Structures are given as C-alpha cells and as structure tokens.
Structure 1
C-alpha cells in the first residue's frame, strides 16, 4: 500500500514536471499560432495563470490581427478569475474603449463595473472603493437600461449601499460607545444619527438609532453646564416623542420612557428655578427703583 502511494506521488510529480516543461517550451516557441491556441486551451481549462502569461507575451504580436480582440478579452478575464479585480477593471474598460464594435462590448463594460464590486472592501474599512463601484454600476444601468445584466446590477448596487449603510451605523454606535459623558462625542453621536436618518430614511437600523438619539441627548443634558441643561433635556423629550410616533411598538420604548420621565422632571425643575430666579431679579429691580425714587424725593 505504501509503495503504491509513493508510486502515485512519483507519477504526479513526473506529470507536473512534464507539464511545466511543456509550458516553458510553449513560452519559448516562435510558433505564434501554436502559442495562441495553447493560451485559449489553458483559458478554457481554467488554468488562468498560464493563459495570462502566454496572452501577455502574444498581445504585442497580435496587434491588428483577428486574434487580438479575443486575446485581450480573455486577458481581462484571466485577471478577474485570479482575483486581480483592480487590473480586471482596467483591462475590461480598455477592451471596451479599443473594441467599441465588439460583440463582447456590453459584457466588458459590465465586467469592468462588476470587478469593482468584487474589489469592494469589508464594511469596516475605507469605503471609497465601494462608492466608485456603485457609481460605475449605476452608470452601466443608465447607459444600458435594457441590458440582460440590469436586474443583477440593481441587486449589486443595493448590496453595496447596504454596506455603506452598515458602515455609517457602526460609526454612529462607535461614537456613542466611546462617549460616556463626553460632551464633544455625545454631540457628535447625535449629529451622526441625524445624518444617518437623513441619508438612510428606510433603514432597518433607524429604530435602534431613534432610541440611541434619546439616550445620547439625555446623557448630553446630564453632562452639560446648568445654563444649557433645560434646552438639552427638552431635545431629549422631543426625540422620545419622535420615537413613539414612528415606532409605537418598539422594544426600546420602556428604556426610552425612563429617560423621558427624568428629562421631563428635570426640565420642569430647571424651569421652576429659572422662573423663581427671574421673579427675584424683577423684585430686586423693582425695590432698587423704589429706593432710587425715594432718594430723589429727599
């Protein structure tokens, strides 16, 4: 059994050496037709690395020939299939520019945009690549509204926008998580929530963010100086009312209601203190005026 296993390994090794040797012979061959046919065979067998190497060497020679178009098209697909999406985007785009009348033109334009979709980073990374992919996919739909790729492209755009939405949501939560009673970051958390609600009005995250807005505003009111507390408690009250109006059956209502009750009491307490202070100042002013008038009479 062990001998059989070793023999099989030897055969595989020998075949591998032979294949490499044959490939190197092809690379050195001056028979362009043989080399081209081999590149096409490698491509169709899914051996994209080898196909790409041969096509790269052939293309300068194929310029102006009937084979240039298909070789250039396959070269872009080689990059795509080997995960080199940035280069695939470039080569599909260049193919479309070079062969505007090709039967593969629309496919190349689509694959150029699709390669950017494949190259889009995870949501927690910089999303400039995702935005570029969305723009190119949207441009494809605008230019080819009846394309067979239309529905797929629409789904890809939705997926990429969801990634941007998730990125924005996590950014908001990060502001809140790192802002316990920090006035600057609490302010930023509220601003980011408002921006998110504006940019993604139909997002599934908006219910949770509506609650977080109440919570962040409440904590901001607690953390701020007395002269600004009433205004910020009043905002927390308003945010709670917005939450109730939009999500009357929300799971966050019980927690939010506690914050609302405290905010209401604090707002009323501060209003009472301010009213008493104002009345005292007016009384003091009135008494001062009376004393001044008495002094004049004397």
Structure 2
C-alpha cells in the first residue's frame, strides 16, 4: 500500500520536469500574488515534498489551485494536495480535496488514486468497536466505490481487503449491542442485532457467535423451532466451533436437538440444508 502511494507520488512529481505549460494570463489579475507563475509554485511544492515538508508542500499546491483554477497545473496540484494532506494525517482535508478532484476530473488518470486516498482517509479513522461506527461505514462505502468504479486499478485488490476489515468491524458493533440486549433479557432487540450479522455480514468472523446467541435468545423466548434451526445451521457450517458446542448443550437442557426448519429466515440466509 505504502509503495503504491509513493510510486504514484513519484510519477506525479516527474510531471514537474515535463514541458512547462504556459503561464497564467495577467489580463484580469485578482490580486498581486497571481503574478507568480503556476509552474513556479508547483515546483516549489515538489521541492518541499522532497524535503519531507508536507505542510509547506500543501501550501504551495493550494496556491496553484487558488491562483490558476481549472488549469492543468491546478489539476496536478489538487491531487498532490490530497496526497500531502493524507500523508500528514489531515484526513478531513484529504477527503475534501479528493472529492473535489473527482468532481472536477472524474475521467483523469489519477481519479482512482484520489478515490483510494479518500477511502484510506476514512479507513484510518475507524474507531474502537465500542464507539459510533459512522466512519467505518464511510470507509466501507468508499472502498466499495473504489472497487466498483476502478476494478483494474492497482488499488482495487487492497480495497477489497479493507472492505472485509470494515465489514468485520461493523459486525462486531452489532454483536456488542446484541450482547448488551441479551444480557438484559431484551431478547427481541438482541435478535434484531444478531440477525443483521447473519444477513449483512455473513462472511465475517462473528457469524458463529451470532448463531449461538440467536439460539440463546430464541430459546429464552420459547421459540424452540428457531432456536433449533440456529443451532442446526451453526453445526452444519461450523461443526468444530465452540459456539456450536454451547448451542448444542443449551438445547440438551430440555432434551432438544439441533433441527433445521427450511422455511426459517436463518436457513434461507445461509441457503443450506442441514440433514
């Protein structure tokens, strides 16, 4: 990931040495500072970047964008602004400039890179599972957009991995709230949370526990058929799981066995028939 970012920045930096674009027009000067040619500020930004001064580089790139809007220099400076903001940990600014870049230059060769930095900026702000997961959802949505819009980009494969991590985090939050309800005998609320894990985050590591917790909740409510189904699906898909052993032991306290009802939402969600 770091190599791809550095490589992209290096490619963009090379642009400083290509044929110089014409200087900005002085027909309608907005203020004295517009006399500074765009390429001068851009090259100054590259120099700051090479020195590791990302704040100074950001300032110079922003000056190009402000003084020469919609020029080719502004386009290059805007993607570099996104990069320097991201690298120095100013994720909010990186997201803002990245989104602006995509709005102005959606067909640019650097569009995938801009989307990657937006998604990474959200991803790097994913909070602890005990807190609100808005940033996690935004990270998932942004990574999903990256994969869908730029499937052949060098960032797509890593984006898919990040999506899995974000889904696991969101599932973990649902499990935390579900356990909270279950421990307070609020079984309907608990079931709704565990159901979300089963239906929306079925590929995460939390599914085994979610099925066992569903067994507990339905068993406590006396909805035996669903409790047996949850345990049966758990046993079919994860026969060696400790969660299956717990679910089986719970059913045995009333002489019951795991048994699937094919019409149950749990069965349909897994699309599996347990014999």
TM range (shorter): 0.5 to 0.7
Change over 3 Å in CA distance of 1:208–1:48 after alignment to 2: same
Based on CA coordinates, which of the two structures has the bigger radius of gyration? 1
The answer as to whether partners of 2:211 and 2:230 remain within 8 angstroms in 1 is: yes
d(CA) in 2 for partners of 1:150, 1:125: 28
Shift of 1:146: 1.7
Structure 2, unaligned runs of 5 or more: 1-32, 257-275
Using the size of structure 1 for normalisation, the TM-score is: 0.62
d(CA) in 2 for partners of 1:71, 1:192: 45
Using the size of structure 2 for normalisation, the TM-score is: 0.66
1:1-298 alignment, distance < 5 Å = 32=36, 36-63=42-69, 67-100=73-106, 102-177=108-183, 179=184, 182=185, 185-218=186-219, 220-221=220-221, 231-232=222-223, 236-237=227-228, 239-252=230-243, 255-264=246-255
Shift of 1:41: 1.1
Larger relative contact order (Cα-Cα within 8 Å, sequence gap ≥ 6): 2
Write 1 or 2 for the structure with the bigger share of helix: 1
Shift of 1:239: 4.5
The answer as to whether partners of 1:236 and 1:263 remain within 8 angstroms in 2 is: no
Shift of 1:79: 1.3
Q: String of CA shifts for 1:113-152, please: whole Å, max 9, x gaps.
A: 3323233333332222222232222222222222222211
The answer as to whether partners of 2:136 and 2:166 remain within 8 angstroms in 1 is: yes
Shift of 1:50: 2.0
d(CA) in 2 for partners of 1:102, 1:260: 59
Q: String of CA shifts for 1:136-178, please: whole Å, max 9, x gaps.
A: 222222222222222112112122112112222222222223x
Shift of 1:100: 4.9
The two structures, once aligned, show a CA RMSD in angstroms of 3.2
The answer as to whether partners of 1:86 and 1:119 remain within 8 angstroms in 2 is: no
Shift of 1:65: 5.3
Structure 1, unaligned runs of 5 or more: 1-28, 222-230, 266-298
